[in-house]
Structure 1
Amino acid sequence: MSGSENAGMLLRRLLSPERTPVTQAERRAADGWIDRAKFGGKITEGQAEERRARLATAKTRADLRVALTGLPGAEATTLPRLLSVVTLVWLGACLVQIAVWLMIVLFGGGFAELWWLWTVVVGGAVVGVLWSLAEGQYRAWVAGDLR
């Protein structure tokens, strides 16, 4: 994979975390969740099979969440949406500031300080922390640790 493909994939994961492809390990963990719900009397055998069929065709995390909807602890969280919004605002602010800086450099006749780096670095750190929290919460959710 080239650098631009990696950057594009990272950007898609930050802007739409629910569209991240599901791994086989996540499918196995979700299948275990369905088993626990079935053996715990929360769902019937027919409901479990229906959920497993959805699980088999799940391509994204959103599809996986649909297969587990209604099980105890399967409520949607706000962190993925918050991550998307914060990432979009951060990228927009960075692009605007870099464009203004370039205009100052080009039309001002000289090199200007890199004041926009504050937004890039601090905003990037905030996005990184949110991504880490959302990813950790998602992995705990799939493993069934959130009840």
Structure 2
Amino acid sequence: MELYFQEVGNMDMNTCTKNKLVKNVRPDINKLQALLKSADKKIKACDILPDELGEPKITLIYDGIRIILEYLALKQGYKIYNHKCYTAFLKEIMKKSRLGDEFDKFRRIRNDINYYGKEVNKEDAKELVLQMKKFLKQIKLEV
């Protein structure tokens, strides 16, 4: 799947923190529970949509993944304000480098859809949603 926008450079946790894209916080149980419910709703909405609506399915499941990552970060005392910093969080804090690379791929595809109007054909969208669901299963093991 070709990406329209190729970014230069990677963010690491030090850069994210220095640029105030990550801050230390105290975990809030109520917020954590609310995040899990919100992620679940996004994922269920993705499942309801027909395969012909590939881009909305991709953005919904991406949102669900990002919310689960927010949950994991908050649980460990980090508030993350930038999606690229979730990649750094996965790689450096969670020690899940491969998952960090996968999330970054999903992030770039979602950005191409949301900000550049990229269209994804039905078969590619279906395959990507399957990859994202597999990713979701892996990160949910950390919840």
Q: Same fold, TM exceeding 0.5?
A: no
- Structure scoring higher RCO (CA < 8 A, sep ≥ 6) equals 2
TM-score of the aligned structures, taking structure 2 as reference length: 0.35
The normalised TM-score by structure 1 is 0.34
Larger Rg: 1
